[in-house]
Structure formats: structure tokens, C-alpha cells
Structure 1
Amino acid sequence: MASTVEAPAAGPGTAGPDTAEPDTTGPAPARRRPLRRAAGAAGAVARRTVAIAAFLAVWELAPRAGLVDRTFLPPASEIVPALWDLARGGQLWSDTEASLARSLSGFALSILVGVPLGLVIGWYRPVAELLDPLLELFRNTAAIALLPVFILILGIGETSKVSIVLYACTWPILLNTISAVRTVDPLLVKSARSLGLPAPRIFQKVVLPAAVPTVFTGIRLAGATAILVVIVAEMVGAKEGLGYLINASQQNFAIKDMYAGIVAISLVGLVFNYLLVLVERRFTRWQQTPAQR
């Protein structure tokens, strides 16, 4: 006997089993991922900038509070207009161009000299035994101490400045390259030899790739050295450059311009180091994890 009870009709507020609406009370996992990534990026930026922000705050507040004489250390907010005036007048750009031309020339030449020489010394023991005493003698001689010698021999022009940068930058590149070759895992070399590879192929396929990260460490150290040494050289004798700008501003008691030149040097060094990091990542991509890429 068929049942005469009818199913209640679905009203406007009642959803049947086939027309049930999805539950939107909580975010789905796919919706959480962008939020987590944004929060992680914001946290990373905060961690990287909190120290700089604290430093700038101390720099701004210390002169205003009378902790230091603002005549000799103006607040940070007063340095920005001075930096802008130097940039608008063109002096900042011409001085930066002069310093970069000198430092980059010496830096590039140091790579051309330091890397091949370091590879040869690190790979061939007879060459190392011949040159190690000479390297130990000159590696402990500060480049700044030799600046008067370079000026006496090469003059006060561009040659002496590029040469002192070349000398100063060669050592970190050379020493790190030698260390990179000598510290390659011996097991990798033995494995390559067991496969019958000749010495040049072992050097090309095993030693050189394994040495690249340490070589770039030396190159980055040399990049910082190039900026430092060229500034000192320009303070001693130059008519343009950031070092000249700082020295001339100090002598003329243009304190704000002096600090503006110091800030410009810091920014140039920061950008230079960042570019070197990008190049290093490009050459060591095989060593990075997918997350690092």
C-alpha cells in the first residue's frame, strides 16, 4: 500500500540535498596561503629594516635632544635636503661617476688577475711553493700604507688611484680562490679520477664548480674594498670624486654636505654589493634549493 504522506515542499529558505550551499564560515587552505605569504614577507621586511630604522631614529633624536652637538652631527632629516641639493646641482652625480670609474676599473682588473692566478696557485703545488713566500710578504702590507708609494711612482692622476684599487682588491680574490681550490672535497676528485678523467677535465668539471661560491666570497669582499680604497685615495689627492667631496666639505665646514657624501657612499656600496649577490646567485644556481631560487 503506497504511503499517502507527501514530502514537504522546499521553501525559499530550505535547501535540498542537491542544492546545498557551500560552507563559507572559515577560509579554505587555498585562501590562507596568500595571507601567510604576505605575512611572512612583511615579517622579513620588518626584520631587515628594524635595525636601520632604530639607527636613523637615534641619529635624528640625539642632536635634537642635545646629546651631541648638532653643529657637528645634524639630524638625519637635515641631511636629505643637502643630498638633494647636491644631486640637483649635478655635483653628486659627477663625483659618483668619477669614483665608480676608478673603483670599477681597479676591481675588474683585480678579478682578471686574482682569479686565474689563484686557480693556478691552488691547483699546482710547485707554483704555490714558489710564490707562497712572496704572497705572505705582501698580503700583510696594508694597501693604504702603500698609497704614498703609488703616488710617488705613478703620479697623482688616475693611474695611481686605479692601481691602488687593483692592489687592494687582488688579495681577497686571490686568497679566497686559492682556499677554494685547496678545500675541494678530495672524495670528488678521487671519484673523477676513478672514472678516468684527465687532470684538465677534473679541474673543469669538479674543482672549478666547487670553488665558485668561495671565489665569489672573495669578489664581494673586494667590492667593498674597492669603494673604501678609492675614497681614501681621493681624499689624499683628487679634484673630483666622493672622497674629494667629503674632504672638501669638511675643510669648508659644510657639515651637511659632508654627511650627504657619506650617505651617498653607503648607498653606492649597498647597490654594488646587491648586484654582486645577484651575479653570485646566477653562477651558483646549481647549489641552491628550489626555495632559495
Structure 2
Amino acid sequence: MSSSTAPHAPGREVRPVTTTPPTPSAVDTVAFADPPTLGRRQVLTADDPTPSFGARLRGAGVRVLRASAAIVLFLVIWEVAPRVGLVDQVFLPPLSAVLESFWGLLVSGELGKHVGTSLTRAGTGFTIAVLLAIPLGIAIGWWAGVAQFLGPFLELFRNTAALALLPVFILILGIGETSKITLVVYACFFPILLNTIAGVRTVDPLLVKSARSLGLPPVRLFQKVVLPAAVPTIFTGIRMAGTSSILVLIAAEMVGAKAGLGYLITYAQFNFQITNMYAGIIAISLVGVSINAVLVSLERHFSRWRTT
């Protein structure tokens, strides 16, 4: 409401003029009203539909089926081919016979003994390789002088296969545990070393400059910037080394060992226990898959900052 005073002649009473604003009509009220809002449940239903439990379960089943289809097909062929005469059962027994021998070795404890022996050797050599290769790789990747000094020497041995040095290790270190563990160290060392060097050299220079501008000391720089940025590349080498540790060790255990999966396979072959031989091969595959799964979990744990 507003009021105004009209001009008047002298001697006359002044009466204020009152102006009343018009009442808004129903159309105006509707036009200027706030738009209707959807509740949280309505918004989620319209924009981001959540699949039901059954749909999620079916989706997971389809993904598992696609991932395992090739493996299932291979196992079916392994079971059927010897039985229909495509291959001789003497040299390739059906899968069911191999699994029966696998179960027998597992129940008797013999398989567990050989697996434990192989894992102890592989784990020892793998751990030593990690403790040696990562610090050396950081030094080579960070300081050019260290790279120039050690580069040619390491390049020479990097191109020498581990199994080619097995006779040398046996000749120098004997036929016992030392030669086998040393061979595993040698086989695991270079994948970890080379990936550590690559990881350190590919750290974003802007991160390093920013950390130095903030006055971060060298030790903290490695701890907070260089190592976290290089972890994914380092773990690529660690996973490669984990696979190499088992493969090389099995070959070493076939020469002069008295226990281990390599010894089990060789012993079964010499005694024509073919189902036991294939059971040992299956055990090696399961051990390798398990080691890779553990390393993948560790990689995700140490690299979780990349997804935050």
C-alpha cells in the first residue's frame, strides 16, 4: 500500500490519496508459483534407476559365464577326448582320473608337502629379489650417475636367461637349496628392477617440483611423492616376478631335488604315474593363480589413493 499527496489550493483540506495494489489473479498465482519438486525417491527412480537384486544376480552370472566359458570348454574337451579315442588315455588320462589322483595326493598330505616346499623356496627368493631390486631401481632411476655406472653391467645379465645359468649355479653353489633360491632371485630380480626404474622415471615432474618448493626433504620426497606415483609400475614387475619365481623353480626342482612340485612331476613321469604327473601340473597352475591374486590385492591396497 502506498500513499501520495495531490497538489492543492491554499486554504483547502489536504486528503491523502491511497493507492491499493491489485490482487493477483489465480493465473498470476500459478504463473509465479515455485515449480513442483520431486521427492528423493522420485528423482532416483527417474534419473538413476537402481536394478533389482535379481537383475544384479543375473548380470553377475552372465559375467562369470563369459569369463569361464573357455576354461569350461577346455576341461570338457580334456574329459571327452581320451574317452572317445581322439588321444591315447595312457598319455592323456581323462580329467576325472587326474582329479581323482589329485584328491588322493591331497588327502595323503603328499601334495601339501611338495607345495609347501616349493612355496618356501619361491617365497624366499622372491622376497630377496624385492628387497634388492626396488632400492637399486630407485637409485638407478633417480640418479643419472648410478645409471651410467651400473647400466652396462645390468644390461649384460638382463639378456641372459635364468635357466641358462642353472648349471653354473649348481656347479658353484651345489645341488641343495642355495642354488635353487639363487636361481629364483636371479629370475625375479630383473622384472622388478626394470619396472622400478621405469616407474621412477615416469613420475610427473610437476609433482616433484611442487614437493621441493614446499621444502620437502629428499627422504620425505621419496616416501610421499616418488614411491606412491611409481607403485603401479613397480607392481607390474612384482607380478611378473611372482610368475617367474614358480616357473623357474619348477625347472630347477626337476634337477637334483628331493621335494617340490617339480620333483613330483619328474618322479611321477619316471614311474609312469601319469595321473599324478598331471595332478602336479594342475597344482602348479593353482599356485600360480593364487600368487597372482594375492599380488593383485596388494597392488590395489597400495594404489588405492589413485581412485580417491
TM-score bracket, shorter-length normalisation: 0.7 to 0.9
Give the alignment partner of residue 245 of structure 2, picking from 213, 217, 226: 226
What TM-score, normalized to structure 2?
0.81
CA apart distance, 1:58: 1.4
2:274 aligns with 255
1:20 aligns with none
The structure, 1 or 2, with the larger RCO (C-alpha pairs under 8 Å, 6+ apart) is 1
Residue identity matched to 1:274: A
Matched, 1:284 2:307: no
2:254 aligns with 235
Matched, 1:266 2:273: no
Residue identity matched to 1:244: Y
Q: Secondary structure at the match of 1:73?
A: coil
Residue identity matched to 2:304: R
CA apart distance, 1:31: 7.8
CA apart distance, 1:34: 1.6
1:1-293 counterparts in 2 under 5 A? 32-288=51-307
Q: Structure 2: how far apart are the matches of 1:180 and 1:54? A: 39
CA apart distance, 1:231: 0.5
Q: Structure 2: how far apart are the matches of 1:31 and 1:127? A: 56
**Structure 2 stretches lacking a partner, 5+ long:** 1-47
Residue identity matched to 1:272: I
Q: Secondary structure at the match of 2:203?
A: coil
Whose Rg is larger?
Answer: 2
Q: Structure 1: how far apart are the matches of 2:62 and 2:305? A: 28
CA apart distance, 1:85: 1.1
CA apart distance, 1:198: 4.1
CA apart distance, 1:83: 0.5
Runs of 4+ off more than 4 Å = none
Superposed CA deviations along residues 228-260 of structure 1, whole A, max 9, x for unmatched, are 111001001101111000001111111110000
Q: Structure 2: how far apart are the matches of 1:172 and 1:105? A: 17
Superposed CA deviations along residues 79-99 of structure 1, whole A, max 9, x for unmatched, are 110001111222111111111
Q: Structure 2: how far apart are the matches of 1:201 and 1:39? A: 48
Residue range with higher mean Cα deviation, 192-201 or 223-232: 192-201
Q: Secondary structure at the match of 1:129?
A: helix
**Structure 1 stretches lacking a partner, 5+ long:** 1-28
Q: Secondary structure at the match of 2:52?
A: helix
What TM-score, normalized to structure 1?
0.85
Q: Secondary structure at the match of 1:273?
A: helix
CA apart distance, 1:196: 4.1
CA apart distance, 1:39: 1.9
Q: Structure 2: how far apart are the matches of 1:196 and 1:94? A: 54
Q: Structure 2: how far apart are the matches of 1:39 and 1:87? A: 35
Q: Structure 1: how far apart are the matches of 2:307 and 2:98? A: 40
Superposed CA deviations along residues 28-83 of structure 1, whole A, max 9, x for unmatched, are x9884322321221122112211110110111122122221121011111111000
Q: Structure 2: how far apart are the matches of 1:112 and 1:185? A: 25
CA apart distance, 1:204: 2.5
Q: Structure 2: how far apart are the matches of 1:198 and 1:99? A: 43
Q: Secondary structure at the match of 1:236?
A: coil
- Count of residue pairs brought into register by the alignment: 261
Q: Structure 1: how far apart are the matches of 2:100 and 2:82? A: 17
